[in-house]
């Protein structure tokens, strides 16, 4: 894969986003993520997964420099890929540990929320949902994950008002599960992945899907197209040209 590095350690799949400078999501990267997690769902040799990013960002969200150059067909392809990605990661039958190494903005924040256990590096970063500030409506599966994973007050602050937080604020708000020093991030993620991998595989899969049944049903409907009202009119490329600088500033 072009923008994701894979390593298999003790049955644990480590996926690292490697798209400089900020691991932003273009069509190809989003499709790679969806493909990777759909493959993991069918991989009996994979016991758990770790998702992280290379550099100072975990994932800075949609690549708004690319979007103005996309045709309507390409925008529809990206929308479909986001819904596939969110559904594949959130519904992955094996434990998914998020090792949040840096900035997690907009779609990158959604990707972090798809993980089952979220470990954040104690480092300077911004996390949040900037969609409302840059004029990008939420794909249905992405919003379903956010709605399911965040406390209603936190969701209201982030989704409706585009608030950003630092790592400590996000930890206090219950967005992340634990914080470690940056040089301990992957070590701790491996510890947690081993712990999760030791759980009975079938029971974990069934219970995870029981817990998220309503959200995953909505996500799958979005993937099918039936539950995605934005499929024929998501982003106006002209609007994206005027908002890319806003997102760039928010990434700090």
Distance between CA atoms of 218 and 251, rounded to whole angstroms? Answer: 30
Local confidence band at 238 (pLDDT 50, 70, 90 cut-offs): low
What is the arithmetic mean of pLDDT over 129-148? Answer: 94
In order of start, what are the domains of the chain with their CATH numbers?
A: 4-197 (3.90.226.10)
The mean predicted confidence, pLDDT, of the chain is 93
Strands 12-17, 4-9: pairing is antiparallel
197 pLDDT exceeds 70? yes
pLDDT band at 232 (very low <50, low <70, confident <90, very high): confident
Q: What is the pLDDT of residue 233?
A: 81
Model confidence over 98-117: pLDDT tens digits?
A: 999 999 999 999 999 999 99
Do 98 and 46 contact (CB within 8 A), yes or no? Answer: no
- Which pLDDT value is given to residue 249? 47
- Is this prediction's pTM over 0.75? yes
Average pLDDT for 23-28: 97
Q: Which of 201, 242, 220 is nearest to 64 (CA)?
A: 242
60: pLDDT strictly greater than 50:
yes
Residues whose CB falls within 8 Å of the CB of residue 211, separated by 6 or more in sequence, listed in order? none
């Amino acid at each position: 894969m072009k923008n994701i590095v894979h390593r298999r350690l003790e049955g644990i799949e480590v996926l690292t986003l490697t798209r400089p400078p900020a691991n932003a999501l273009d069509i190809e990267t989003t499709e790679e993520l969806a493909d990777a997690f759909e493959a993991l769902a069918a991989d009996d040799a994979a016991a758990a997964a770790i998702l992280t990013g290379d550099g100072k960002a975990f994932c800075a969200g949609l690549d708004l420099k690319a979007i103005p150059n996309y045709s309507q067909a390409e925008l529809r392809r990206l929308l479909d890929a986001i819904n596939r990605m969110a559904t594949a990661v959130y519904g992955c039958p094996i434990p998914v540990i998020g090792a949040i190494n840096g900035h997690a903005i907009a779609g990158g924040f959604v990707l972090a929320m798809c993980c089952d256990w979220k470990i954040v590096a104690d480092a300077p970063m911004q996390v949040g949902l900037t969609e409302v500030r840059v004029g990008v409506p939420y794909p249905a599966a992405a919003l379903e994950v956010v709605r399911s994973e965040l406390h209603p007050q936190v969701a209201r602050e982030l989704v409706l008002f585009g608030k950003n937080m630092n790592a400590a604020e996000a930890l206090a708000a219950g967005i992340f599960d634990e914080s470690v020093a940056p040089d301990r991030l992957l070590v701790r993620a491996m510890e947690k992945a081993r712990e999760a991998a030791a759980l009975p595989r079938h029971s974990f899969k069934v219970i995870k899907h029981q817990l998220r049944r309503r959200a995953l049903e909505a996500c799958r409907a979005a993937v099918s197209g039936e539950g995605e009202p934005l499929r024929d009119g998501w982003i106006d490329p002209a609007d994206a040209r005027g908002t890319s600088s806003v997102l760039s500033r928010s990434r700090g």
